[in-house]
Structure 1
């Protein structure tokens, strides 16, 4: 399938869309797990897909938490407040189950885990609200305004960052972005946040996690590690994440169909948001063969049509 150019590049004011999407948005759909103790980093290193033992204070990590079958139970943005104090930001609807499951593996580790969501505020910063002092590389981190600021992948060409601070810190200044606007920028970044409707639906590569810095193949074992490594190094990956757009509303967990095989779905909506002007955009995980040509449809073989957009980053296998 030919990659269609993104539509609707201007805002209702006539400004380029990227220029209109500047500001801050509270990230109320996210929560925070806190890991504290002298073995907190070592414990997380043995549970998640990324390296937390060597995590520095000026960087963050994207990481997944998998079942023994290599299926994602949660995805995180993690960083250290101190060498023995780590925050994991994840979808709030997954936090209780994730915290309970992680706690099962603590055993005698010198670490404790807690739901710290009530103690922190999380904000998304877009466009000119992202300070120039924050390094441009995704997952870089900066102490800023009494909190921690993490550089995210851009969405639709718009710079993005996440700011995490104690709940009593002053909120960041700037124009308010609507939640839907922030969610759309996240979708357009191509980096999905796993949520409840799609728990255990994907191995990390089905969300391109290894291509956006979320999997370290050189670290030691973690739950599902053998499955994740085998998916990467033995044979071709048959499912990947893509960005699509369409006129109809989309929701997480909806199925995607391809015109050449109308009897069964070829993919799943992972995250979706309305376009700031019209239509919807979504990250979908689907068969790579379905991205090669032919029409895509939402929810049914004769459902609303979808257009495939270019991925905003290269896939690891293509680098």
Structure 2
């Protein structure tokens, strides 16, 4: 299926696997600024950004949306890791910081239509307990909603949603891909998801050195396969050699980490022909 499909508006559908973690307290912003790879201090109330958490060696543990509700409240929108699990990982670094990590019991839903009020990096509280995010990009309008009445299940719509994520260069990181890739290898500069100027955070030295010394040699590439691909460390190969690894798939679409000068023709994965596709822009926040 081509990622250029022209979709009309659809009803809301549940997004399984997405969860919300709240950081609350007078040190919530300072804690997030010290731990996460993007500049949390640059956000105003009502804004959100792509952000992530790295190992000391600069590998991405998780990629998420970070929302600033107010000066003492942040929400993390986690698409690939459970909020309770992520809270346990973060808790060991709280020490004496006045911040509480709390998993929020709410549902996340989506639709292929324009947001009612949210726009770009500004989210909207459309009613009490319900937050709307603009997930639109060059591939078309998309709306994500946190809270409210739980939406129905629609496996086909969820598959299309994940395909749209991949088509915009938003990598989905299953367990097998955690702690494997640097932000630059995942081309997260396209999403403005990390900072090289804000100061210290785990992995910052690796990220900054790679950036300022011009050592970025690999990045994301989008492929459309002749048939569905299996996920997990599948190799992208050219005519005579392997050139990279697929990190996530959705139907016939796949994102892979490959050299920036990788060939774009005569590629295959496990004998399945691959066509190099352009990545959509417009999902940076």
TM-score of the alignment, normalized to the shorter chain, above 0.5: yes
Cα deviations by residue, 1:171-212 (Å, 9 ceiling, x for unpaired): 479x99622122222222221232212011110111111221
**The residue matched to 1:285 in structure 2 has which SS?**
strand
Are 1:219 and 2:198 counterparts? yes
Matched, 1:71 2:71: no
Q: 1:144 to 1:66 in 2, by over 3 A?
A: same
Distance 2:85 2:17 in 1: 16
Give the unaligned 5+ runs of structure 1.
1-5, 10-16, 275-279
Task: Give the secondary structure class of the aligned counterpart of 2:44.
Answer: coil
Match of residue 134 from structure 2 = 151
**What corresponds to 1:272 in structure 2?**
249
- From the superposition, tell whether residues 309 and 85 of structure 1 become closer, same or farther in structure 2 (CA, over 3 Å): same
Partner Cα separation in structure 2 for residue 296 and residue 31 of structure 1: 36
Q: Confirm or deny: 8 A CA contact 1:25 1:182 kept in the other structure.
A: no
**Residue among 295, 300, 312 paired with 2:266:** 295
Alignment of 1:1-319 (within 5 A): 7=2, 17-20=5-8, 22-93=10-81, 95-116=83-104, 119-128=105-114, 130-131=115-116, 133-135=117-119, 137=120, 139-146=121-128, 147-154=130-137, 157-165=139-147, 169-171=148-150, 178-262=157-241, 265-274=242-251, 280-290=252-262, 292-299=263-270, 303-313=271-281
Task: State whether residues 74 and 94 of structure 1, in contact with CA within 8 Å, keep that contact through their aligned partners in structure 2.
Answer: no
User: More displaced, 119-128 or 57-66?
Assistant: 119-128
> How far does residue 254 in structure 1 lie from its aligned partner after superposition?
3.0
Q: TM-score, normalised by structure 2?
A: 0.88
Return closer, same or farther for 1:97/1:228 CA change in 2, 3 Å cut-off: farther
- What TM-score, normalized by structure 1, do the two folds share? 0.80
Deviates more, 1:253-262 or 1:221-230: 253-262
- Structure 1 distance, partners of 2:210, 2:85, is 26
2:231 touches 2:248 (CA, 8 Å); kept in 1?
yes
Equivalent residue number for residue 14 of structure 1:
none
Structure 1 residue 105: deviation in Å?
A: 0.8
SS at match of 1:98: helix
The change in CA–CA distance for 1:151 and 1:83 in structure 2 (over 3 A counts) is same
Cα distance change on mapping 1:240 and 1:47 into 2, 3 Å: same
Alpha-carbon distance between aligned partners in 1 of 2:11 and 2:50, rounded to the nearest angstrom: 23
